[in-house]
Chain A
Amino acid sequence: MLLIHCPYCDETLPELEFAYAGEAHIDRPEDPSAMTDEEWRDFLFIRNNKRGTHFERWRHINGCARFFNAVRDTVSDKFLTTYKAGTPRPSDAELEELGK
């Protein structure tokens, strides 16, 4: 069972309290009517599907119910860090430090 740290509740809790919510840092289009079909495809469907360090969203569905971001290694399933929605993604140097 994964143990996940909710940055709002500041508690590390079992996976069962959380719902996975897909890749993180995908910006909504600012001017949807100006988008081409290709841009819509990329926004809606294309995903990094990264083998390794993956930026993703989780929701503390059976707790505070808020969305937050996480960085997880998709090979080991180990969480490197979690952080509140709206905060910038950790830099490569910070992640390297966390991975040690």
Chain B
Amino acid sequence: MTHFSALSLLSNALTGHKNWREQWPDAQPKKAYDVIVIGAGGHGLGAAYYLAKEFGITNVAVIEKGWLGGGNTGRNTTIIRSNYLYDESARLFDHAVDLWEGLSQELNYNVMFSQRGVMMLAHNVHDVQSFKRHIHANRLNGVDNRWLTPEEAKAFCPPLNIESNARYPVMGAALQQRAGTARHDAVAWGYARAASALGVDIIQNCPVLAIRRGTDGAVEGVETTKGFIKAGKIAVSAAGNTSVVMETADVRLPLESYPLQALVSEPVKPVLPCVVMSNTVHAYISQSDKGELVIGSGTDQYTSYSQRGGLPLIEHTVAAICEVFPMFRRMRMLRKWGGIVDVTPDRSAILGKTPVKGLYVNCGWGTGGFKATPGAAHTLAHTVAHDEPHPINAPFTLERFQTGRLIDEAAAAAVAH
């Protein structure tokens, strides 16, 4: 692997950029691996990287049905934050933010992590009370979050409309300054390059048809369109398609897959300095480094695998943005797309062991999986390597739906669902 540095950039510039090499080879499957990760998104590639880097397991393959980072990793709105209410969630997402802070150095790949702050707007008394409760809970957990008056919110984000005659006036905001955005594609590419350099095979365009189990019930390997591949352990990190893959191993999950849409505007000069979210009018917005306004909101109401979603939701989203930022009314939208997110009943992820020996699952991230990428990847790798969960992901079991020990972020998460 060529080490990227200012010097390598300069020397390649002087030679007309003709000598850049491919960043990782396109691998073909071997007959057997110690660990197979299904799904080459940020979570899956990251898990393979940490398995090789931290746990010394390098005989690993990441198998992807499409192209690397082409699922929700390349379709989300890149927001990173950790201001969750419950202790379990705060620990998991804050672990991810800790890893995000060093990720570019760790991977020698610029993931453009920008801690520009995430500001959540309060529009009514209920919002004010619940956000202040979040702020106090977060601070007790060591997660930064602070209250802003409408004037302070406007000073932090000048395009914001805080007029009192608005239909939903801004009554204040909760600001997590450590939160922000990152370049989503670079996360997948950076992990892929670093994992590949440590010996991980990344196999694209290779749908997994079934997980095969032996007579003792333990996993034996996966049937793919490129033939059978033997594996000692299998970690499934397939987002919206997790139910489909896991069903082939006779594991039924408490998941439903919904389309989550996003859209971007034409690129403009820097205008929006932070991420702004509003649950009450229900939309969120940030500006990419390319200049596009990146906009999203909640899922469509019906389950689907279509990666498309309906226009009524886009209309609702854009209406909300125009309410909060009247100056964006004349912006033209360039593209919209959808990704399929797997949602659990308590809106918290499932990350850990399954009833099947040698089979691990990382799913149920719903609408907020990108922010967790390094944390989920790291704790999944730990779980696979030790056959025991890391203390951080230990509460996120599949069994909680039987024991009733739910992590009920559906009511408590800092976003509406």
Contact = CB atoms under 8 A, between A and B. Distances in A.
Q: Is the A/B pair a real complex?
A: yes
A49 interface: yes
B393 to A, nearest CB: 19
23 contacts: A2-B310, A19-B301, A20-B303, A41-B254, A41-B402, A44-B345, A45-B254, A46-B252, A46-B254, A47-B256, A48-B243, A49-B243, A49-B255, A49-B256, A49-B342, A51-B257, A54-B303, A56-B302, A72-B302, A74-B306, A75-B304, A77-B304, A77-B306
Interface string B356-382: 000000000000000000000000000
Interface string B217-252: 000000000000000000000000101100000001
Contacts of B308: 77
Nearest to A16: B312
A93 interface: no
A74 B254 contact: no
Contacts, number: 66
B303 A74 contact: yes
A49 B306 contact: no
Contacts of A38: 402
A8 B308 CA distance: 29
Interface string A31-74: 00000011011101111110100101000000000000000101
Nearest to B301: A20
A38 B355 CA distance: 13
A72 B304 CA distance: 9
A95 B130 CA distance: 48
Contact of B310 (A1, A19, A37): A1
A46 B402 CA distance: 10
Contacts of B257: 49, 51, 74
B348 to A, nearest CB: 12
Interface of B: 241, 243-244, 252-257, 301-306, 308, 310-312, 342, 345, 401-404
Contacts of B303: 20, 49, 54, 56, 74
Contacts of A15: 310, 312
B361 to A, nearest CB: 14
Given A16-B312, A37-B403, A46-B253, A51 B305 contact: yes
Contact of A75 (B254, B306, B345, B401): B306
A87 interface: no
A19 B243 CA distance: 24
A47 to B, nearest CB: 5
Contact of B305 (A2, A41, A42, A75): A75
Contacts of A2: 302, 310
A91 interface: no
